[in-house]
């Protein structure tokens, strides 16, 4: 057994897990955070994408024991109370989901993508950065529209903040 201390969505958490436990199972089975989905268990689909220390990662390929003292963000930590995160709102507005299975991973990948590129995205870059996240329903058109819309919101808010000083 390994004692894992980490910060999940701003809350310090501690779990005693078997040594071979994957991060996705720590989240789902030990912390009850089922928004992170188990898809392929081989890092092919991206349904398990979370943000670990500022980087989008596939939690099905990371041992929980290796993330001690890490900062972790999951889809459950995006909304602030009843207010959805801009990416969640854009996915809803632009119908960037169908069955919803890939949606949490897509959203987390999108949040990280927008942050990394400071909202400066175009369709080619979005499609390239989403290569590790699979959707079997939508053909990506509305997902890309949602991400580009959220990036525009990011840029507008950043510009407004800069103008205020």
Q: Give the pLDDT band (50/70/90) at residue 122.
A: very high
Instruction: List, in order of start, the domains of the chain with CATH numbers.
Output: 2-77 (3.10.20.30), 86-164 (1.10.150.120)
Taking only the tens place, the pLDDT of each residue in 76-117 is 999 999 999 999 999 999 999 889 999 999 999 999 999 999
Indicate left, alpha or beta for 56 from its phi (over 0: left) and psi (-120 to 50: alpha).
Answer: beta
**Rounded mean pLDDT of 51-75?**
97
The mean predicted confidence, pLDDT, of the chain is 95
pTM of this structure: 0.94
At residue 40, the pLDDT reads 85
């Amino acid at each position: 057994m390994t004692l894992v201390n980490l910060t999940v969505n701003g809350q310090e958490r501690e779990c005693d897990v078997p040594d071979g436990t994957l991060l996705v199972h720590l989240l789902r089975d030990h912390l009850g955070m089922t928004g992170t989905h188990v898809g392929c268990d081989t890092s092919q689909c991206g349904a398990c994408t979370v943000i670990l220390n500022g980087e989008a990662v596939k939690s099905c390929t990371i041992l929980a024991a290796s993330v001690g003292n890490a900062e972790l963000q999951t889809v459950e930590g995006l909304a602030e109370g009843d207010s959805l995160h801009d990416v969640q709102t854009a996915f809803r507005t632009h119908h960037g989901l169908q069955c919803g299975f890939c949606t949490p991973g897509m959203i987390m990948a999108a949040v990280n993508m927008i942050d990394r590129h400071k909202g400066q995205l175009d369709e080619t870059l979005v499609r390239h950065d989403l290569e590790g996240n699979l959707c079997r329903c939508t053909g990506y058109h509305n997902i890309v529209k949602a991400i580009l819309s959220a990036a525009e919101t990011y840029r507008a808010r950043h510009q407004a903040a800069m103008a205020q000083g």
